[in-house]
Amino acid sequence: MLDGKKTLFSGMQATGNLTLGNYLGALKNWVTISDEYQTFFSVVDMHSITVRQDPAELRKRARMLLTLYIAAGLDPEKNCIYYQSHVSGHAELSWILSCFTYMGELSRMTQFKDKAAKHADNINAGLFTYPVLMAADILLYQADVVPVGIDQMQHLELTRDIAFRFNNIYGDVFTVPEAYIGKAGAKIMSLQEPKKKMSKSDENPNGSIYLMDDPDTVIRKFKRAVTDSEASVRYRDEQPGIKNLIDIYCACTGKTPQETEREFDGKGYGDFKMAVGEAVVSVLKPLQDRYKDLSGNKDYLDGIIKANAEKAQYLSNKTLRKVQKKIGFPEKIR
């Protein structure tokens, strides 16, 4: 608890271009609830290298992501927005926590299984211990709340288990965090394969809406979205494509699925897809405009990056010192 507020931590990987799924499932919720908490929003570039990255590209994407956090509405004076790799405590705590995490637990992680299947030529140890680094991110700041999309729930459960385990041995060292899953947009599916989540690392660009897509591209992708032959806008599991479009429409307009069904009662998929496309464009346009303004302002961004990394380093050190002491590392002579 800092400044009488509870603490919130979240992060995104600097891999690929952010999608509408990342925005509706995570970033948008961050903005909505950030005022109520002392917040840390990290660009988790250390997680990104579990998959091979081009160095120049990673650097560029990390900066893009950090800028997007701000463009989406997170005030960097109030929210600690920083690069994970600028704060040494993440790696240090991760090592310690890896000695409190079982191989069996890590082998059960579905993200690991998915990514291992996808990158069979590079199943590195970092990919396996990825969730431990994520636990370190969260526990380092004693976060109470972690807003993520529903696909990250399993990692959050593991984080809680590690925290409980550690606290049981050493006393109340870590706050045990809760996940925060937003109501609308918890899991946005691919426009081409509505049973698969929309993902920034998807090879088919038509399945994903990227936050930087221009209006024509957005409309075109929605027109091509895979639906079904029922020809009725109904919110039901048997129509996964339409259900996903309704979820997107609701997340962008604030309407409920029932209101949407009524609004498009008797209308064809063409009209509905157009309306969803327009709703998305009206959400993306202001974000893209702010992004353009910000990315031209190098000095401002550099100032934010420096100040927030220092703040995160300072605050995370408190937890790290406590942990090191508890487990019996010798104290540094100062």
Q: How many Cβ atoms sit within 10 Å of the Cβ of residue 326?
A: 14
Residue 198 interacting with ligand ATP (CB under 6 A)? yes
Q: Is the dihedral angle over the CA atoms 264, 267, 268, 273 positive or is it negative?
A: negative
Do 228 and 217 contact (CB within 8 A), yes or no?
no
Among positions 149, 177, 241, 277, the unique one binding ligand ATP when judged by CB under 6 A: 149
Residue nearest to ligand ATP according to CB distances in the complex: 25
Write out the two tokens for 317: 């050190």
Annotated catalytic residue 197: yes
The residue annotated as part of the active site, out of 6, 187, 200, 322, is 200
Which residues ranging from 1 to 40 are in contact with ligand ATP (CB under 6 A)?
12-13, 15-16, 19, 21-22, 25-26
Is-catalytic flag, 115?
yes
132 φ/ψ angles, rounded to the nearest 5 degrees: -70, -40
Closest to ligand ATP by CB, 18 or 96: 18
Position 199 contacts ligand ATP (CB under 6 A): yes
Does residue 40 bind ligand LTN (CB under 6 A)? no
Q: Region of 69 please: left (phi>0), alpha (psi -120 to 50) or beta.
A: alpha
Between strands 80-83 and 37-43, the pairing is: parallel
Q: What whole-number distance in Å separates Cα of residue 323 and Cα of residue 148?
A: 26
200 is catalytic: yes
Q: What are phi and psi of 296, to 5 degrees?
A: -80, -10
Question: Which residues lie across from 37 on neighbouring strands?
Answer: 6
- 29: contact with ligand LTN by CB under 6 A: no
Q: Supply the minimum distance, in Å, between the C-beta of residue 321 and ligand ATP.
A: 29
Nearest approach, Cβ of residue 147 and ligand ATP (Å): 7
Question: Is 69 a residue that touches ligand LTN (CB under 6 A)?
Answer: no
Which residues of this protein are in contact with ligand LTN, per CB under 6 A?
9-13, 44, 47, 134, 137-138, 146, 148, 152, 155
